[in-house]
């Protein structure tokens, strides 16, 4: 039985108990008011009311707990698609600029072509875009740092960034352009912790 089914059945039970309490009260008060004069009967109605209130409170508590669990699952799923978009957007940038294949080969394959004509402006823009996308990833990882699925994705992010930092150009863009002028404390801390930069 999943969480949605158990929540629905719990809500049904709470609703049935509440309806039974109301019916008993209406029956005893309007149709048979002589029973309401007895202390035992009033205690019985009070106990049923207290039990149904308790059941409703438990139902609300379960809804809050299940909502939190579902929200965490949604965040992990969102992060998974977010990670896919991370790499896809970087590759799309290189597809839009085929003249930057030398930089793509350097970042993704570790192949350095010293004879290629460099486009320093595009290198800087691509590197800055990668860093900006990385900040989004780091923020998401840090907000869900104890979720096991996010930890796996964090390791993937670290592997990707390790691959990128093999490029001296990329490392220089981080150290000399991005870090001093654009990086926030979260990015700086992450890079220092995982890459010593």
Spatial contact of 67 and 74, defined as CB atoms under 8 Å apart: no
Instruction: Reduce the DSSP state of residue 134 to 3 states and report it.
Output: helix
Give me the torsion for CA of 138, 154, 89, 82, rounded to 10°: -80
pLDDT at 134: 87
Q: What is the CA radius of gyration of the chain?
A: 30
Would the pLDDT of 36 be above 70?
A: no
Please name the residues in contact with 93: beta carbons below 8 A apart, sequence gap of 6 or more.
126, 129
Spatial contact of 159 and 108, defined as CB atoms under 8 Å apart: no
End-to-end CA distance of the chain: 49
Residue 151, CB half-sphere, CA atoms under 13 Å: how many? 4
pLDDT at 88: 83
- The owner of tokens 């007895």 is 38
pLDDT tens for residues 72-125? 777 666 666 666 777 888 888 888 988 998 999 999 888 888 888 888 899 988
Q: How far apart are CA 34 and CA 186, in angstroms?
A: 72
pLDDT tens for residues 45-73? 788 888 888 888 888 888 888 888 787 77
The sign of the CA dihedral 74, 75, 78, 79 is: negative
Task: For residue 30, give both structure tokens.
Answer: 């309007």
Q: How far apart are CA 28 and CA 187, in angstroms?
A: 68
Spatial contact of 141 and 76, defined as CB atoms under 8 Å apart: no
Q: How far apart are CA 103 and CA 139, in angstroms?
A: 26
């Amino acid at each position: 039985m999943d969480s949605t089914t158990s929540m629905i059945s719990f809500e049904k039970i709470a609703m049935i108990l509440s309806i039974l309490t109301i019916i008993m009260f209406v029956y005893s008060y309007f149709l048979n008011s002589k029973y309401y004069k007895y202390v035992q009967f009033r205690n019985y109605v009070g106990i049923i009311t207290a039990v149904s209130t308790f059941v409703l409170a438990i139902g609300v508590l379960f809804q809050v707990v299940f909502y939190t669990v579902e929200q965490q699952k949604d965040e992990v799923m969102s992060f998974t698609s977010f990670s896919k978009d991370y790499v896809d957007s970087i590759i799309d940038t290189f597809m839009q600029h085929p003249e930057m294949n030398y930089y793509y080969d350097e970042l993704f394959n570790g192949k350095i072509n010293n004879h290629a004509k460099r486009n320093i402006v595009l290198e800087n823009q691509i590197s800055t875009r990668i860093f900006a996308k990385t900040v989004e990833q780091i923020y998401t990882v840090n907000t869900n740092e104890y979720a096991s699925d996010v930890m796996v994705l964090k390791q993937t992010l670290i592997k990707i960034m390790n691959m990128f930092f093999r490029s001296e150009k990329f490392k220089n863009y981080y150290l000399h352009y991005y870090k001093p002028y654009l990086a926030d404390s979260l990015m700086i801390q992450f890079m220092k912790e995982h890459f010593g930069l």
